[in-house]
Amino acid sequence: MVRQFFLLLSVFLITALPLMGGEGKIQTQSGWQLVDETVAVVNGEPILLSDIKLYMLLFGERDFTKALNKLINIYLVAQYAESKGLQIPPQEVNRIVENFAKSQGITVAKLYGELQRVGLGGSVFNNFIEKYNLYVNGIRLFVLKPLLSNKGELELLIAAKAPKAKPVYTVEILPIPKKVAEKNEDLLLSMDIEKISKKLGITPIRITATPEELKPSIAKVVKRLSEGQTDFAEDKNNIYLVKVLKVEYKTPKGSREKILKRIEEEKIEEFIKTLRENSVVKILPEALKALQTSP
């Protein structure tokens, strides 16, 4: 679950990566001898074979090319986050390493010893921890936060992906008898519900309802308004000043969270795609071929 995963790591805790033992551990390929060979370059920053091997070890990824592509994405987002001033201080990296070792039931020294045993130094691990947390927090700050904070746009995105979604409006309605409205035309032109309410001594009504639950004349107006907009409706006896406070969409039970996760994943993919299009990413074919064809 993408959002839960990001929320977990956004507080700088990595506690469930299968480093030692268990089914998630990757066996070193026969003949695959670790050297710090550059496999790819992302905006001038190298991705080494040791970085890829560590990623495969931590996440249980057995496909070398998939691991490399994921690392390229991590580096792109981490670099963007750094360009925006985001930093992971060395002491924070040390704290994460300590927490990770603790989650494995070992000391930091033992952790580094296990890494060394499979040909990976502690500096490789620390570098990845910094990069990965820059990536996670970059996604959280520059993709998920803007998405979730723009409630109106988010509701429209959810509705677009849920054919059976029904709009639910929270509206403020000020009913004004037509005779009173005729005597206060200049006042009504301000379309300020609070001001008009105080002046006329009429209390506005706030309700949350679907269009079918509203008076037809009011529903017709509400449907064309966006959040924060105000307009007039009328029937035989009254003029109604209507303000839309919020628009939400009712989706079938259980589908909203699934749709939201899908939207988040799509936004992340779009963000990374844009970064790739505006970056220089070079995969060294000779190194990649040699690694993939090792006996």
DSSP string for 159-193: HHT-TT-EEEEEEEEEEEEHHHHHHTHHHHTT--H
Residue 291 has pLDDT above 70, yes or no: no
68-91 pLDDT tens trace: 999 999 999 999 999 999 998 999
Asked whether residue 227 falls in the same domain as residue 285, the answer is no
Of 53, 11, 20, 13, the residue nearest 35 (C-alpha): 53
Long-range CB contacts (within 8 A, 24+) of 43-50? 43/75, 43/76, 43/79, 43/279, 43/280, 43/281, 44/280, 45/75, 45/79, 47/71, 47/72, 47/75, 48/124, 49/287, 49/291, 50/119, 50/120, 50/121, 50/124
The CA R_g of the chain, rounded to the nearest whole Å, is 28
Asked whether residue 144 falls in the same domain as residue 210, the answer is no
Looking at the chain, the whole-number percentage of residues with pLDDT higher than 70 is 83
Number of folded domains that form the chain: 2
Question: Average of pLDDT values for 248-277?
Answer: 88
Asked whether residue 273 falls in the same domain as residue 129, the answer is yes
Q: The domain that contains 50 carries what CATH number?
A: 1.10.4030.10
What is the per-residue pLDDT for 167?
85
Asked whether residue 269 falls in the same domain as residue 244, the answer is no
Task: Report yes or no on 257 lying in a domain.
Answer: no
Residue 287 has pLDDT above 80, yes or no: no
At 30, the pLDDT band (50, 70, 90 cuts) reads very low
What is the per-residue pLDDT for 114?
85
At 118, the pLDDT band (50, 70, 90 cuts) reads confident
Asked whether residue 100 falls in the same domain as residue 238, the answer is no
Q: The domain that contains 246 carries what CATH number?
A: 3.10.50.40
Asked whether residue 180 falls in the same domain as residue 245, the answer is yes
**The domain containing residue 202 runs over which residues?**
166-250
Asked whether residue 106 falls in the same domain as residue 217, the answer is no
Asked whether residue 120 falls in the same domain as residue 190, the answer is no
Read off the pTM.
0.63
160-218 pLDDT tens trace: 777 677 788 999 999 999 999 999 989 998 999 999 999 999 999 999 999 999 999 99
Residue 26 has pLDDT above 60, yes or no: no
What is the per-residue pLDDT for 292?
58
Task: Report yes or no on 159 lying in a domain.
Answer: no
Task: Report yes or no on 160 lying in a domain.
Answer: no
Task: Report yes or no on 156 lying in a domain.
Answer: no
Task: Report yes or no on 161 lying in a domain.
Answer: no
Residue 70 vs residue 116, higher pLDDT: 70
Asked whether residue 73 falls in the same domain as residue 218, the answer is no
Asked whether residue 147 falls in the same domain as residue 179, the answer is no
Question: Average of pLDDT values for 98-123?
Answer: 86
Asked whether residue 215 falls in the same domain as residue 287, the answer is no
Task: Report yes or no on 96 lying in a domain.
Answer: yes
What is the per-residue pLDDT for 5?
31
What is the per-residue pLDDT for 290?
59
What is the per-residue pLDDT for 256?
78
Task: Report yes or no on 46 lying in a domain.
Answer: yes
Question: Average of pLDDT values for 15-43?
Answer: 51
Asked whether residue 245 falls in the same domain as residue 123, the answer is no
Give residue 82's region: left, alpha or beta (phi > 0; psi -120 to 50). Answer: alpha
